[in-house]
Amino acid sequence: MARKLLKSGKSADEKLTEQATEIEQLKVENHLLTAKHEASVERSDFVEELIAELAMSVYQ
C-alpha cells in the first residue's frame, strides 16, 4: 500500500503521530501553567490580606 506524502515529506500517519505527541505535551504544559497560576493567585490574595492587616494595625 502506497503512503500519501504531505508537502512536508511526511506521511499522514507520521504527521498525526507528531500532532498527538504535541497535544500531549501541550496538555502537560497547560496543567503546569494552571497550577502555577493558581499558586500565584493564592500568594497575591495572601499578600493583599497581609497589607490590609498591616494598614489596620498602623491606623489604630
- Give the pLDDT means over successive 10-residue stretches in the chain (60 positions): 65 90 98 98 97 93
Q: How many CB atoms lie within 10 A of CB 34?
A: 10
**Has this prediction a pTM greater than 0.75?**
no
Q: Is residue 15 a contact partner of residue 6, using CB atoms and an 8 Å limit?
A: yes
Q: Amino acid identity, residue 53? A: E
Residues with Cβ within 8 Å of residue 12, at least 6 apart in sequence: 3, 4, 6
Cα dihedral sign for 2, 7, 9, 10?
A: negative
**Degrees to nearest 5, angle at CA 19 with 27 and 23:** 5
